[in-house]
Amino acid sequence: MNDVQLLLAERNIKNVVLRYCRGVDRMDLDLVRSCYHADAVDHHGDFAGGVDEALRWVWDVLETYASTVHLVANMLVEIDPEVPGSARCESYGMALHFDGGEGGRRGQAIGFRWIDDLEQRASSDEDGQWRFSRRVATTEWIQRYAQDEFSAIPDRFLKGRRDRNDPVYQHADRPERPQGSSAV
């Protein structure tokens, strides 16, 4: 693999991790599913199993929150020179999970690491894209937040949504502003 191919592979692998984050935070099941090979396994929190079971488990967890934000920091991609189309990506990050509530929110921040084995498969049922073949999520720490530590989001602010109506899915130059809002 030459340097350009290596850089492209690293970028594509990092994008799998970032698409996973978008899919989880926007609750876009199809986008999250597209990050995994069909026979992948996931070890996440108190769950271990296949992709379909993992997605059911994570959706059950996500539905208990009003919003989530996954922030990824350090990402180390290691392409296996001995096995073409095979790599490991270790990502450090923080996941913020918030409950809704009158006048504010409560929630928790979770420090994590994801240890992902990825493969690039080119076969009749695979499209040659890098995807997770094995995913391990470790929990490094948890911090809980009290409701009175947060302010309500003003109605005039454009808010994120947890579905395909979120501004990230809008292809216009500017997302629509909520009714009655003014530019800040």
Taken in order 42, 112, 168, 62, the sign of the CA dihedral is: positive
Domain that holds residue 23: 3-168
Residue 70 lies in a domain: yes
Q: What is the CA radius of gyration of the chain?
A: 18
**Full-model pTM:** 0.85
Q: Structurally, how many domains does the chain consist of?
A: 1
CB within 8 Å of 60: residues ≥ 6 apart: none
The DSSP output letter for 168 is: G
Backbone angles phi, psi at 118, to 5 degrees: -125, 150
CB within 8 Å of 170: residues ≥ 6 apart: 176
When mean pLDDT is compared over 64-68, 104-108, 148-152, the highest value belongs to 64-68
Please give the average per-residue pLDDT across 92-120, as a whole number: 87
Q: What is the pLDDT of residues 38-61, one digit of tens each?
A: 999 999 988 999 999 999 999 999
* CATH number, residue 16: 3.10.450.50
Residue 112 lies in a domain: yes
